[in-house]
């Protein structure tokens, strides 16, 4: 008894910790059960409303056919159905006036209606504020994408007219040394010439998406250039896209990345960065792609979590 009594306090403390952990797990399981139950109720309510609308539509079509047959038989005027049905002209009267043009206000109005219908069918109280995009944000993004497409179409039209008139494009791309190197010559205010070979670190600039993609040249053919991005994605760029100027290829400076311009209009600032965890050449990127590293980190995290749970269960 004298030997066991000093451990009595430790035993009581560990017992209290285990009981607290059990109560917390029970509350967590109960909250998850209530959430799943509410979500199932929302799905059931939504499916029931869809089935009801489908049955009403089927009944309306059958009733219309019967009324037409009765009218053809006795010549009596056709009675109107008591089921309210909106026609296409009633749904989009303003869109019919201006065909081919996207109306931001009308699109925002339709998005608000769709959002209200969705909120009636599903419970979004478990989502915090700011998670769901607002109709204004959706319309703004859609209009931005439309403007990008319009600018790209205008650029393609100008280049097509230049070629038809016998003019030369601002970008000249040639595959030299039997597909071993790619020579680009661009005139944009000043003459710039660059030669790319397999393994070079490059920056691919897209005029359509207005984004820059960093990676390494993996292969050069007569029709396209294959690039492995730093995220591990394999991309292909057609030579025709480079010649049209829709895609621009630049060499990436070593250990420096360009940051945004200052607000006072100064030149770009180049900051040296550490390359820890980032592939510095094509062979390293192909040997250890980022997606493999992410999967390995996930497995190690799960093993570590399982070990922690087993240790707690041992107590």
* Residues 48-68: tens digit of each pLDDT: 999 999 999 999 999 988 888
Convert the pLDDT of each residue in 306-315 to its tens digit.
Answer: 555 554 454 4
The CA angle 249-169-224, to the nearest 5 degrees, is 40
Long-range contacts formed by 9-13: CB under 8 A, 24+ apart: none
The 3 state secondary structure assigned to 135-158 is HHHHHHHHHHHHHHHHHHHHHHHH
**Among 193, 192, 191, residue whose Cα is nearest residue 182:** 193
Domain boundaries, the chain: 37-72, 103-167, 171-260+270-295
What torsion do the CA atoms of 14, 20, 24, 26 make, to the nearest 10 degrees? 90
pTM score of the predicted model? 0.44
User: Looking at residue 245, what is its pLDDT?
Assistant: 78
Convert the pLDDT of each residue in 261-273 to its tens digit.
Answer: 444 444 444 444 4
Convert the pLDDT of each residue in 268-299 to its tens digit.
Answer: 444 444 444 556 777 777 776 666 566 666 66
Percent of residues, the chain, with pLDDT higher than 70: 65
User: Looking at residue 131, what is its pLDDT?
Assistant: 66
**Among 231, 235, 233, residue whose Cα is nearest residue 290:** 231
User: Looking at residue 135, what is its pLDDT?
Assistant: 84
Q: How far is residue 91 from each of residues 85, 120, 261, measured CA to CA in Å?
A: 10, 21, 47
Per mean pLDDT, which range of 8-22, 30-44, 154-168, 287-301 is the poorest? 287-301
- Is the predicted pLDDT of residue 95 greater than 50, yes or no? no
> What is the pLDDT averaged over residues 243-247?
80
Rounded to the nearest 10 degrees, what angle do helices 8-74 and 104-121 cross at?
120
């Amino acid at each position: 008894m004298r030997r066991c009594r000093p451990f009595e306090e430790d035993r009581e403390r560990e017992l209290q910790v285990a009981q607290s952990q059990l109560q917390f797990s029970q509350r967590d399981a109960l909250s998850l059960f209530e959430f799943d139950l509410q979500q199932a109720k929302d799905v059931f309510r939504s499916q029931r409303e869809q089935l009801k609308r489908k049955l009403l539509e089927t009944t309306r079509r059958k009733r219309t056919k019967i009324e037409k047959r009765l009218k053809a038989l006795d010549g009596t005027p056709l009675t109107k159905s008591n089921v309210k049905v909106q026609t296409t002209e009633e749904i989009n009267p303003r869109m019919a006036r201006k065909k081919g043009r996207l109306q931001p206000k009308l699109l925002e109005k339709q998005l608000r209606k769709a959002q209200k219908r969705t909120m009636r069918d599903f419970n979004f109280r478990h989502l915090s504020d700011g998670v769901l995009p607002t109709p204004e944000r959706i319309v703004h993004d859609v209009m931005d994408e439309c403007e990008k497409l319009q600018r790209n179409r205008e650029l393609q039209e100008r280049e097509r007219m230049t070629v038809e008139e016998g003019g030369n494009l601002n970008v000249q791309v040639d595959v030299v040394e039997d597909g071993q190197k790619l020579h680009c010559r661009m005139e944009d205010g000043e003459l710039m010439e660059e030669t790319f070979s397999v393994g070079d670190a490059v920056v691919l600039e897209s005029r359509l998406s207005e984004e820059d993609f960093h990676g390494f040249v993996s292969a050069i053919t007569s029709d396209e250039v294959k690039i492995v991005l730093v995220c591990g994605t394999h991309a292909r760029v057609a030579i025709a896209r480079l010649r049209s100027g829709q895609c621009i290829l630049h060499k990436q400076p070593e250990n420096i990345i360009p940051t945004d311009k200052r607000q006072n209009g100064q030149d770009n600032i180049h900051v040296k960065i550490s390359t820890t965890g980032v592939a510095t050449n094509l062979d390293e990127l192909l040997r250890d792609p980022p997606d493999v590293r992410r999967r390995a980190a996930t497995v190690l995290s799960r093993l570590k979590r399982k070990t922690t749970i087993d240790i707690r269960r041992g107590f």
